[in-house]
Structures are given as C-alpha cells and as structure tokens.
Structure 1
Amino acid sequence: MSTATHTSPALSASAAAFGMGRTVRLGLSRIGYETKIYFRQTDTLFFTFLFPVIMLTIFSVAFQGMGNVGANPDGTGGISQAAAYLPGMIAAGILLSGVQNLGVDIAAERSDGTLKRLGGTPLPVLSYFFGKMGQVFATSILQIALLLLVAVVAFGVSLPTDPAKWMTFAWVYLLGIATSAILGIAISRLPRTGKSATAVIIPPVLILQFISGVYLQFSLLPNWLQTVASIFPLKWIAQGMRSVFLPETFASVEPGGSWNLGAVAIALLIWLVAGLVICRVTFRWIRKDS
C-alpha cells in the first residue's frame, strides 16, 4: 500500500510567510548597505544628490537682477527667482535619484560582475530591488529636505502653509519617485558596458530637464517641444510640484490654463506600469551557471 505525502495549507502558508519575512529582512539590510555606498561615491554625490541644490543656487543668484517672476507692470508682486526654480529642481532631483542613479548603478553592477556574484548567493531578487528602491527613497527625501532648507534659509522662499498643498506634494512625490526608480531599473539595460553607462544615460536625462520646465519656463517653449516633453514623466512631475509651490495665479500659464493634477496622476501611473513591464521582460538575475 503506497502512501502520499501532502503538505497542509497551514504549513504552506507558514513557509510562505517565513520566506517573505526573510526577503523583507534582507531587503532592509540592503537599504543600509546601498545608502552607505551611495554617499561614498563622490561623482554620484555631485551629479545626483547635490546637483539640483547647486543649480538652484546658480539660477537664483544669476537671475535675481531680473526681478520677480510674474511681477505686475509696475514691478510689484510676483515671486523670487529662487521660488520659481524650486519646484523644477525638486522634480529634477526625483528624476536624477531614480532614473540616472539606478540606471548607471545597475548597469555598472551588471558589467563588473556584481550581479553575477549576487546571483550565486541566497539573496532573493526582491531583496536586491528592495534595497535599491529603499536607497532611492531615503536619499531623495534627504535631497528634497536640503533643497527646501537652502531655499528658505539662503533665499527667503516661503513654503506652503495649506495642508492640502502638502498632501499633493506627498502623492506627486511618491508616484514620481516610484516611477523614476522603476524606469532607472529598466533603462539600466541600455548601456553595453558599465563604462558607457554615464554617456548613454546622462545626456537624455539632461535634455529632458531643459524641455520639461526645470531650467526654462515651460510656457515659453514652442508648442511642438511642449508636446514632446509631455510624453515623458519629468514634465508631469514638475507640473505637479509647481502646483504645490507656486501661487494659484501661475496655473493660468500652464497648458490648458490649470494644474491638471488628474493628468499628472494618469501620466505617471502609465509610466510606472510601463516601467514594471519593461523590467519584468528585460531584467535578468545572472546566476553562476548562466
């Protein structure tokens, strides 16, 4: 008489819970490791973490002689140059923290054999991505805090006092940073080698900043360039941030004459889903026997 071995549903659920708990624990430890490595890389610190702060300082000082943005004909009213540039620099920082940082970093790890070595360890794939995503969230929060501190202390920018504005900031930030991080993982497949990663990834990211309302006022761009920029997520992140930090009167110069936050959410969700699909199709966890 033969006997069959059956795994009870309770044991299966317990094993799954243990496996997920282990994945989360390893992921949390990876966040600390990834963040330490991030702050030890001087090029990453300059071109990703400090770059928006430096650009905010340069533009605020260079253009302060032009007077306030949106001032009345008699020169009264409006906002300072620093206040006008702040939302764009926050949006740029979000893109740099996700797309540029992860795109270059993962491409280099693939090229130098780091992914292959990790593939030979018990580290789950989800723990690896948990660490990367956690590092992006942690460093971008610190970057935004530094941007706000510089804007307020050095340039006297007044921050919003309406709680609704900060609620908008929260969901635009979370959706924007998640989308940027996922796209950074997806774009890491483009460079053929780790050495070419910066040359492949940084130029498109820089171009997007110029056409998406970061360095130049979006309404001043030609219509066809606004249409091109609207395809990509940075334009929508910047628009969402402008709705938080700029006066309501500035909405009239936006496309359609409003902040259009519904379109911001839809555009970022589309890019988030597209990025997840691309990552699922293209990312390979390189095992030793591959």
Structure 2
Amino acid sequence: MTTAARAYGPSTLTLGLHRGVIELKAFFREWDAVVFTFALPVVTLVLLGSLISGVYPGSDVTSAQYLAPSMIAAGVAATTFVNLGTGIAGDRDDGTLKRLRGVPMPPAAYFLGKTVQTLVVVAAETVLLLAVGVALFDLRLPTEAGRWLTFGWVFLLGVVACALLGIAVSSVIRSARSAGAVTQLPYLVLAFVSGIYFTPVSALPQPLLVLGSIFPLKWMAQGFRSALLPDTILGAEAVPDWEHGRTALILAAWCIGGLLLCLTTFRWRGRRQR
C-alpha cells in the first residue's frame, strides 16, 4: 500500500462493497425473512397465473406468461422499496444507525452497501421467478442476446431506483411498528396503477395509465415484458411500442432523484433519540 493510499484510506466504493457483504450476511441469518422474501412473489405468481387464462389475440402468449415479467418487477419493488424501508426503520429504532454514524464511514457507502445487498437478493429472486414461469406456465425465455441485454439494464436501473427510494422513504417512518403500513400502502397502490395485477395493461383506465407512468414500477414491468415476450404482444400494451428510450430515461431519472433524496433527507437517529 502506498503512502497516499494509507493517508486517504479506503474509497467510498470499497467501503460500500464491504458494507454490502455485511448486509448480506445479516440478511441470510434471518431465515424467516429469507423465506418470506422469496416466497411472496412466487406464491403470487402461482396463484394469479393459475386463476387467469386465455391467449391474447394475434399472439400465442397466455395471460399467465404475460403476468410473469410483471411479477418480476413487483418482486424487485417489494424486496427493495418495502423491505429496505422497513429494515432501515428498525435499524434506526434499535440504535444501529446511530452507532454506524459514529464510525468514519461516508453516508454514500451505507447506501451503496444496502444497494449491493438488495441487488444480490433480487437477482436470486428473479432467477427463481423465471424458473417458476418456465416450469409452470411454459414461459419461453428469449434466445437473442439483445433481449437479455435489455433485461439486464432494466433490472439494474430498476433495482437501484427502487432501493434508493426505499432508503429515502425510511426517513418518513416514525417507528419500526408503523414501517409496514407506511411502505405497503404506496407499494400496493403503485402495483395496481402500474398494471402489475391487471392484464392486459391497455385495459386500464386512462387516468390510472397516466398516474402509473410517472413512477418506475410501470416502466420496469414494461421493460421486462419487452425482453421476455415476443413483439406480437404489443397490442396488449398501453402504447404499441416498447419505448426503450423513455424507459431508460425515466428509470435513470428516478435513480438520480432517489439518491438526492437519500443524501438530503436521511436520518441516522430516530425522532426520540438524542
């Protein structure tokens, strides 16, 4: 190690990656949280996929296959926005964040560590959902590299945006007891207005389509459908185009906005702590 490296210490990126490893170890030690985190989107996909039926006109895509990419987006949002907001509120209540603030770690490293932990968990959850879609609903995975590239950048932007929003929303939660209610309500509302549980999306009322298009969940679900489903299903979308450019722009804007919210509103101490 050079003299300059010793003087300046590890970078924020290095500290964030190390923090991510710690967060992952803590997560996988809580087996009940692990089981329910992975089970929720899988059970929802199995139940809804078994209840709905039919093939969309002009395509051989079934309703269950159309639902699968949307449920991947819902799983990303639940694991990031809901779980992160709830978990950080608990850390703030029990004094964990207060102790972390006492160590020489930049705030950005903490956010990065949370994002790394979430990225790994959501990646595993996504693989599981894809496997369920293939096994139970004959979801045909794409063979073109371009579609997997689309899936990759939508996944990364969506995870980062929702994770940062989950960290930001934790600042408005007054206590760990109210965390679930504060995070679940906006998540469920956005899931419905984004067309997650409503097929086809084009059947949603116009005001709900406009409202859903403001937030990242709608674009994440649309991006996943564009990667996993054939173009013959475009008639079921609100606009007969996958709108990749707009999807990337809106998800990136939410990443930037979420980071700014974290840096300006995040509280290391609870309202009752001194």
Alpha-carbon displacement from aligned partner over 1:236-274 (angstroms, at most 9, x marks no partner)? 111111111121022233233211111111111121111
Alpha-carbon displacement from aligned partner over 1:2-34 (angstroms, at most 9, x marks no partner)? xxxxxxxx9657633x331xx555433432332
2:56 corresponds in structure 1 to: 70
- Sort the Cα spacing of 1:19 and 1:36 in 2 relative to 1 into closer, same or farther, 3 A: closer
1:247 to 230, 241, 247: 230
2:216 corresponds in structure 1 to: 233
1:156 corresponds in structure 2 to: 138
> Counterpart of 1:194 in structure 2: which amino acid?
A
- Sort the Cα spacing of 1:253 and 1:156 in 2 relative to 1 into closer, same or farther, 3 A: closer
Contact 1:59/1:81 (<8 A) preserved: no
Contact 2:56/2:236 (<8 A) preserved: no
Moved more, 49-58 or 30-39: 30-39
- Sort the Cα spacing of 1:276 and 1:126 in 2 relative to 1 into closer, same or farther, 3 A: closer
Could you tell me how far 1:94 is from its partner in structure 2?
1.3
Asked whether 1:15 is paired with 2:4, we answer no
- Residues of 2 paired with 1:156 and 1:252: CA distance? 21
- Name stretches of at least 5 consecutive residues in structure 1 with no aligned partner: 1-9
> Counterpart of 1:137 in structure 2: which amino acid?
L
Aligned residues: 270
Could you tell me how far 1:56 is from its partner in structure 2?
0.9
Asked whether 1:143 is paired with 2:132, we answer no
- Residues of 2 paired with 1:30 and 1:146: CA distance? 25
Q: Helix, strand or coil for the counterpart of 1:157?
A: coil
Alpha-carbon displacement from aligned partner over 1:129-184 (angstroms, at most 9, x marks no partner)? 23211110100000001011111123322101111100100111111111111111
> Counterpart of 1:70 in structure 2: which amino acid?
Y
Q: Helix, strand or coil for the counterpart of 2:103?
A: coil
> Counterpart of 1:179 in structure 2: which amino acid?
A
> Counterpart of 2:175 in structure 1: which amino acid?
T
Contact 1:172/1:240 (<8 A) preserved: yes
- Residues of 2 paired with 1:245 and 1:24: CA distance? 33
1:52 corresponds in structure 2 to: 41
Moved more, 153-162 or 215-224: 153-162
Q: Helix, strand or coil for the counterpart of 2:214?
A: coil
1:129 corresponds in structure 2 to: 111
Contact 2:95/2:269 (<8 A) preserved: no
- Name stretches of at least 5 consecutive residues in structure 2 with no aligned partner: none
- Residues of 2 paired with 1:103 and 1:219: CA distance? 31
- Residues of 1 paired with 2:255 and 2:218: CA distance? 15
> Counterpart of 1:146 in structure 2: which amino acid?
L
Residues 1-290 of structure 1 aligned to structure 2 (within 5 Å): 15-16=7-8, 18-20=9-11, 23-41=12-30, 44-45=33-34, 48-63=37-52, 66-67=53-54, 69-71=55-57, 78-217=60-199, 218-286=201-269
Structure 2 length as normaliser, TM-score? Answer: 0.89
Contact 1:125/1:285 (<8 A) preserved: no
> Counterpart of 2:232 in structure 1: which amino acid?
T
- Residues of 2 paired with 1:176 and 1:52: CA distance? 16
Structure 1 length as normaliser, TM-score? Answer: 0.85
Moved more, 199-208 or 37-46: 37-46
